[in-house]
Amino acid sequence: MTEQLTQQKERLSFADWMRRKFGGILHPPAAFLNRIGLMPNTVTLIGLVGNAVGAYFLARGQMTIGGIFVLLMGPVDALDGAMARLRGHPTQFGAFVDSVTDRYSELAIYAGLLYYYASHQQWLPAALVYLAASGSVLVSYIRARAQSVGVETKVGILTRLERFLVLAPTLIFNIPLVGLWILAVFTHITALQRILDVRRQFRQGGGYR
């Protein structure tokens, strides 16, 4: 049993692996932002504003420009955590703000796309946006709900990093429907993967009902 728990703790998500492998790249810019007096929560809000600007261009149908904003805001979204760690006092409230802001940023991007497709009466793409947005929210919600009952689940094909790696390039290359199809299908598969993972952990821990 102890060995199984150890294996679970050592099993890394793709996002965790990327953070361990390349997290040091963020240290120099994070240290610079700390030196000039910016707070991590300020950088979090800058990321939100940048994604909102990107969403504005997406709503106008300027997919490439909007995608560039989305791409640029990806590293910004990661800088706040690196800044807090370098300061030596990451806070639970900071992590909370970061998580909530990430959801707002993602939904702003989907809102821009939904506005564009709905205003042009392109209902299939609009439906794909809805499915992608709802799946993305469910993936995050399931993890948060699991944590509230003492279970951690990070498994799945499309965590937030993977969603970013799908969405940003397809917007930049002006093939948003490709990204939306992938997101519409695989976010819901990811949500199901997390539900099954939580169920497995409850069964192993004797808390399954």
Spell out a b/e string for 131-163, using b for 16 or more CB atoms within 10 Å of the CB, else e. bbbebbbbbbebbeebeeeebebebbebbbbbb
Residue 102 is a catalytic residue: yes
What DSSP character marks residue 155? -
Exactly one of 80, 98, 102, 197 is catalytic; name it.
Answer: 102
**What does 11-41 look like in DSSP terms, one character per residue?**
PPPHHHHHHHHHGGGGHHHHHHHHHTT--HH
Length of the chain: 209
* Phi (first) and psi of residue 197, to 5 degrees: -65, -40
Hey, how many other C-beta atoms are within 10 angstroms of the C-beta on 83? 26
- Is residue 124 packed enough to be buried (19+ CB in 10 Å), middle (13-18) or exposed (0-12)? exposed
Residue 165 and residue 86: Cα distance in Å, rounded?
A: 26
Q: Which residues are catalytic?
A: 102
